[in-house]
Chain A
């Protein structure tokens, strides 16, 4: 009986227990909603890395950075640019066997009225054309003396023979190495004197018939000469060079280097003073042309033949528009202009030899000492496709920017989401990406890095708009410290670390 009572009680007890129901289909409803915080990207930039990579960058011993473009031979002037003697006209005169010889004095024709005082020819021919109306019965010898020329100190004379039975003869003599005194003993310039006579005129038959003698200088090249090369101009050969500063190629405006210079490096072996009237025009990525507007500057030449005078003509912000010129960020620079010879009119005698040159190089020196008040850049990113799948799974995202900035630069970015159809801005936000590091006002050098934290919260609305937008427009505004009122210098130990982290409230559904 007792056993029955116990068994019955136990049964009633078990049956009376509450049986809760389970619903395993609830698994479908599980949504993971973690709040995740994670660093995404740790971006860093060290100026030293850029400096090493860019061939235009030069680092000073104090780590200051400058951009430097140098070409030691941008263009040159050669002797022919200073002294050019064309082929001379033929000098004709008549000789008679029985009469005394003739003295002829002529002036050497030169380009641009160059006045030669003394000249040694490196090359050239002296042509003689001897002719008669009728053949002579005997050979006729004619002697021509160059009165103002010597050959290693000896007088220079030529004999031309008209053979019997011929009415003409032509003969040429090289004048290489002959020294001409073109001053006629200080009385003249470009002077050439001849004397000519028939030798043994008594034995010439018929000795009453006259001879025609023509003398011509051709192919004249100066070995060295003194003179006065004239107060005139010679053209600078047109040319151009690339000036691609890749690190700054995105900046087209508002970028002002405060102390740029362009220098012409002139090596002058010609005894002449020169004034450079150079024109430099830069063209940037947008095709905008900007002129340097450099003032004319002079250099002197050596006082002794064989010497060389090196000169530097510098164009800076006080004698040119170089600040604007560089500020336009040219990627190609064109040069032209002219050079004025003897512009100072202090020198009365010039000299040159066949090896003499004026070599002009260029040195573009851009110390990265700058002031930027408001440099603006605009970038549009098309066909964005950030969130096309399950935007509902992200409730909120906060992007956090941890910045350690060693640049004396403020950078603000205005982000606009543009409508797919209309192109209008449908949403957006501003972000202060960089806070300028403070600088020493005297040196422009950064005194300490700045740590900052900025964040932008992507709410549901912003995320929706982001998924709706097709284009993102980024307007960046960049300025140096204190709104650009303070000049700053860039050094290789500058850098920036930007860590972008995301804090996201997710709402994820378990996958089947």
Chain B
């Protein structure tokens, strides 16, 4: 048990360094910002993401507890556990996400901007079974644990590849809209369809256990044969999704934007399994027939009774459709000047009937053409200790970027509850600099002026050769 705890704690600490989508949303230096803000005008006129390394992100959120909550030096760990369990609620959960940009290309075409590519995504969401943990830790004799319900527990994982085609353009002087169509192939999925489990301790010390549970899964996890790469790439689990965005520029200093991401669904059709249990079992002690010479029978009977009562089964499942985990951004930006801007961002995610709210403030600075930065502070799902930093640097066309919504976590990983990291290597070709343009224009104008002067001089000399001039 101790080893398991340490392993889990270590795993959580490993993801405590990084960058976040709260900063990525307004960071137009990096084309990956289109993943979250399809209408964001890009600095690059051509962008090529290097396969597999152009965008790697890890996201970790644990709204239940941090390592410090449990293992703070000099405290009583038992008090810590008790306190942590007391503070956790049914919405407390663990959310892990990882994405890899397999390929990405973007380029400007006329007034529009095209992007296309593929992204691999692994997503895990799980609510902590808070009541179950409390039940196990405190026991069922505590009044609040006499009814332990698993109904608030939920979990879902999703492994998919998004093939996308995006386009954005300006509409008039004020609006810029963008969208992205995703063709999705799912590799694996599992979710809790029903988790109506309940353990009730009655007034006469009986344990009444009710289950009405259905867990569905699909994809590679259920494949018993050797997994073929082509089966993964072109599985029968298909879906579509769209990302939409719009930016409204009020004036030179103020703009607003919104985006709605992952609107769509996947039909999970291959290698489906269903795990179910439905029944009621009352444990009122081991039966003892006092009239029998051997009053207590074999405990195997009890196990058999449990199995029969709960009717556990694993079966081939039917196909099902699941919506993508949609989320939404709303942002307002104040542009101090061409190089510096401030932004405020609201991010909404929904899952399992719960809404998760993030609010952030950020600064984007185009400090140099080859070095741009963003910093921000975010309140992510109630965790207020997120100070993020993002950097982008260019050496010629090669662009490296890295960002995290919570860099404090890298230093103070003990109290880390939320963080992410995103980094990658792009080939990015920006629009030419304005000064350079001006110099070119000036140079061109100068050339044009010289030509005109020459022409003028020539015509004047020709004039002097006229009879009139000659007359003069």
Contact = CB atoms under 8 A, between A and B. Distances in A.
B73 A20 contact: yes
B338 to A, nearest CB: 14
Given A14-B408, A36-B140, A45-B291, A24 B6 contact: yes
A298 to B, nearest CB: 44
Interface residues of A, number: 49
A32 interface: yes
Given A17-B412, A42-B288, A510-B2, A3 B368 contact: yes
Given A37-B140, A39-B284, A42-B285, A22 B73 contact: yes
Contact of B286 (A24, A41, A46): A41
Interface stretch (A211-219, A303-311, A437-445, A497-505): A497-505
Interface in A479-512: 499-501, 503, 506, 510-512
Contacts of B368: 3
Contacts of A32: 137
A39 B283 contact: yes
B375 A42 contact: no
Contact of A34 (B137, B205, B389, B415): B137
Given A20-B72, A24-B6, A36-B141, A42 B1 contact: no
A17 B408 contact: yes
Contacts of A3: 367-368, 371
A392 interface: no
B205 A35 contact: no
Interface in B395-426: 407-408, 410-412, 414-415
B78 A29 contact: yes
A196 interface: no
B5 A27 contact: yes
Contacts of A37: 139-141, 201, 205
Given A14-B408, A499-B204, A24 B71 contact: yes
A20 B73 CA distance: 8
Interface string A346-358: 0000000000000
Contact of A23 (B73, B204, B288, B387): B73
A193 to B, nearest CB: 73
B67 interface: yes
A227 B76 CA distance: 108
B81 interface: yes
Contacts of A24: 6, 9, 71
B86 interface: no
Interface in B320-377: 365, 367-368, 371, 373, 375
A18 B414 CA distance: 10
B1 A501 contact: no
B204 A402 contact: yes
Contacts of B445: none
Contacts of B74: 23
Nearest to B6: A24
A34 B144 CA distance: 13
A34 B9 contact: no
Given A20-B72, A400-B205, A39 B139 contact: no
A42 B284 contact: yes
Nearest to B5: A27
Interface string A408-427: 00000000000000000000
Nearest to A499: B285
A2 interface: yes
A33 B72 CA distance: 20
Nearest to A247: B291
Interface in A1-47: 2-3, 6, 10, 13-15, 17-24, 26-46
Nearest to B295: A43
B438 interface: no
Contact of A38 (B136, B205, B367, B414): B205
B139 A506 contact: yes
A169 B407 CA distance: 146
B142 interface: yes
A501 B137 contact: no
A35 to B, nearest CB: 4
B207 A39 contact: yes
A506 B142 CA distance: 13
B375 A10 contact: yes
A173 B235 CA distance: 120
Nearest to B293: A53
Given A20-B415, A35-B142, A37-B201, A27 B367 contact: no
A92 interface: no
Contacts of A27: 2, 5-6, 77
Contacts of A18: 412
Contacts of A23: 71-74
A30 B1 CA distance: 11
Indicate the member of B67, B137, B288, B368 with the most A CB atoms within 10 Å.
B288
A44 B373 CA distance: 77
B290 interface: yes
13 contacts: A20-B68, A24-B71, A27-B6, A29-B78, A33-B78, A34-B138, A35-B138, A35-B139, A39-B285, A42-B284, A42-B287, A43-B287, A44-B289
The 4 closest A-B CB pairs, nearest first, are A34-B139, A501-B205, A42-B285, A39-B285
Interface of A: 2-3, 6, 10, 13-15, 17-24, 26-46, 49-50, 53, 400, 402, 499-501, 503, 506, 510-512
Given A29-B76, A34-B138, A38-B205, 6 more contacts: A17-B408, A22-B71, A27-B2, A42-B287, A42-B288, A53-B291
